[in-house]
Structure 1
Amino acid sequence: MEGSWQGILTDFNQPYKKGKAIWFDFKIDPSSGSLTGSSRTETPFTEYFAYKTIRGDSKSKNVLEFEEFMIGKQKNTGANVWCMNEGKLSYNDSTGYLSGEWQSTDCNRKSGKIILYRSKYEMSHTDTLTMYHSWFNNMVSDLNRGWNAYYVRDAEMRNFEFVPVYFDHDKDVLKVEFEDYLNRMAKIINSHSDLRVKIIGHTDSNGTDEYNVDLSARRAARIEAFLKGVGVHPDKIVIEFRGERDPATSNKTADGKRLNRRVDFEFI
Structure 2
Amino acid sequence: MSLSDDGGYGGDRGPETGQTRTRLPDGEGDTYGTGRRPRAGMSSRNLVMAVGVVVLLIAAIAFANRGDGGTGETASDDPAKSADTQPTAPTGTKPVTGKHGTIATGFAKTEQGAQSAAANYAVALGSTSMFNRDQRHQIINTVMAPSAVDTFQKTLDKAYSADFNKNVGLHADGSTPAGLTFVSRTIPVGTKVKNSSNGRATVEVWCTGLLGMAGNGSTKPVTTSWFTITMKLAWSDNDWKAITHSQEDGPAPVSGDVPASGAKEIAGAVDGFGGFTYAR
**TM-score scaled to structure 1, two decimals?**
0.23
Bigger Rg over Cα: 2
**TM-score scaled to structure 2, two decimals?**
0.22
